[in-house]
Structure 1
Amino acid sequence: MGDACGIGPEIIAKAFASGQAQGAFVLGDAGVMRRTLAQVEQGTALALIDSPRDLGLCPPNCVPLVQARGLPADLLQAGLGRVDARAGAAAAACIEQAVSLVQAGEARAIVTAPIHKEALSAAGVTFPGHTEMLQALAAPAGTAVPPVRMMLANDELRTVLVTIHMSLRNAIEAVTFEAVLETLRITDRAMRAFGIAAPHVGVAGLNPHAGEGGLFGDEEQRIIAPAIAAARAEGIDATGPYAPDTVFMRARQTPERPGEFDVVVAMTHDHGLIPVKYLGVEQGVNVTLGLPFVRTSPDHGTAFDIAGSGRADASSLIAALRMARRLSA
């Protein structure tokens, strides 16, 4: 369900009302979803089910919901459009139970509505976001967490990140030979799993003009180019590093011109996500690569400024549902 104080419940209601959420169910709070359905007036009703196995018993034009365990009893008192520890605690509980369901084979994929990192922190959750929390939950007790990467994709562009939720100063330090090579391996495997038989991976540099031969930084020469060479030695079709201010234009797929690359690997969060989001958050989908299950989400946040107004656009959530179905089929 995402953060109860944000637009997650609203876009869920609208996705079901549109008829494009068939086969899905909500893991969340019945009170929050009833309030939302009354606000948006989409002609749908809530159908409480005990488990995903009861999904086929639900009548049409309803939102099937499994009540998540351990949610704050006063969650409905958390005001819309603001950071609240109760909403953070509820979001974390829903994520934990969702992972349990897919690990038990009761669901095929997880689609997460937006959460708020400050609310998670206020609830005492130590993970900075969905990706890191899912990574930890995916590992059986006593085993190492699986290496994962964040991909943002729409119909025109795919980008995978070497580093994600950390300060830019720390992200630069985290761009290592091992991190870049591991990202290229994860990206190549994911693209093949998505049905691209021979993916061409374009690699963005870190510095302006990809370092301009060392004039503007030597990370390309010391780290990124050697990692690309190592990946190519393993049979991965990766090329670069290319100037990060132009590689995304070259990769963009349009009806007029096919892109030069199937996916771009970017070194830092904003390097990679700004181009995809600029093309339109309505169709963008976040996919976590490397998990032992499918996880997608919309490419936008909780939008506290419009929470409860009825103006939230469900397009990105619908695209995330569509992607989850395709990847888990």
Structure 2
Amino acid sequence: HKKAWEDAGLKYKGHTDALRDFFKKNAIMMLGCKELFVGLFSEHIPLAKVSKKITFKNLSIFLKDFYKETHFKKMGLLGFNPHAGDYGVIGGKEEKIMEKAIAFVNAFLHSKKDEKFFKKALKDENLQKELLLNFKGKGVYLP
């Protein structure tokens, strides 16, 4: 219970925040059963701040880490905007970020590149383009 943590003087909003801090590593909140497994991209932040968190860098890191922890061969990505699938008629920024991150992470996962390259490519669009060119037609992990 979030209020109990607050009343106890804990600085964390939940287990994921605490684990992230204790182990000094990124942590992903995951919930699941045999039929459905969910990783939450934005956790413990007010709804008004969620759209600001959806960046190419943040989403790419999340998708890569989620795949590396689960090794699912097929994953879906749900958008924040309920109209994300309407091809930009209402909004569209989130959808473009999601498409770019999915393509980049797919290319990275199929490449023989290391984590150092991944971190560098997050900041360098030329490296992203080069990676995507080498990836064309090699299949995808993420839809």
TM-score, structure 2 as length reference: 0.72
Structure 1 outlier segments of 4+, above 2 Å: 219-222
Aligned with residue 10 of structure 2, among 101, 125, 141: 125
Query: Can you list the C-alpha shifts for 1:131-160, whole angstroms capped at 9, x where unaligned?
Result: 101110112xxxxxx111111101210111
| Larger helix percent | 2
Question: Where do residues 36-47 of structure 1 align in structure 2 (5 Å cutoff)?
Answer: none
Question: Where do residues 299-318 of structure 1 align in structure 2 (5 Å cutoff)?
Answer: none
Find the aligned partners of 2:94 and 2:45 in 1 and give their Cα distance: 21
**RCO higher in structure (CA 8 A, sep ≥6):** 1
Paired residue for 1:147?
26
Find the aligned partners of 2:47 and 2:64 in 1 and give their Cα distance: 24
Paired residue for 1:225?
99
Q: Would you say 1:190 and 2:64 are equivalent positions?
A: no
Q: Would you say 1:136 and 2:21 are equivalent positions?
A: yes
How many residue pairs were aligned?
A: 113
* Superposition CA RMSD, Å: 1.6
Find the aligned partners of 2:41 and 2:64 in 1 and give their Cα distance: 11
Find the aligned partners of 1:123 and 1:189 in 2 and give their Cα distance: 34
| Contact 1:181/1:231 (<8 A) preserved | yes
Look at both structures and tell me which one has the larger radius of gyration over its CA atoms: 1
Find the aligned partners of 2:96 and 2:83 in 1 and give their Cα distance: 15
Displacement of 1:165 after TM fit? 0.9
SS of the residue 1:124 aligns to: coil
Percent identical residues = 31
SS of the residue 2:142 aligns to: strand
Displacement of 1:211 after TM fit? 4.4
| Larger strand percent | 1
TM-score, structure 1 as length reference: 0.33
Q: Would you say 1:167 and 2:73 are equivalent positions?
A: no
Could you tell me which runs of 5 or more consecutive residues in structure 2 were left unpaired when the two chains were aligned.
111-139
SS of the residue 1:223 aligns to: helix
Find the aligned partners of 1:122 and 1:167 in 2 and give their Cα distance: 19
Could you tell me which runs of 5 or more consecutive residues in structure 1 were left unpaired when the two chains were aligned.
1-115, 140-145, 240-329
| Contact 1:135/1:147 (<8 A) preserved | yes
Question: Where do residues 1-329 of structure 1 align in structure 2 (5 Å cutoff)?
Answer: 116-139=1-24, 146-192=25-71, 199-234=73-108, 235=110, 237-239=141-143
Query: Can you list the C-alpha shifts for 1:2-43, whole angstroms capped at 9, x where unaligned?
Result: xxxxxxxxxxxxxxxxxxxxxxxxxxxxxxxxxxxxxxxxxx
Q: 1:219 to 1:161 in 2, by over 3 A?
A: farther
Find the aligned partners of 1:170 and 1:237 in 2 and give their Cα distance: 29
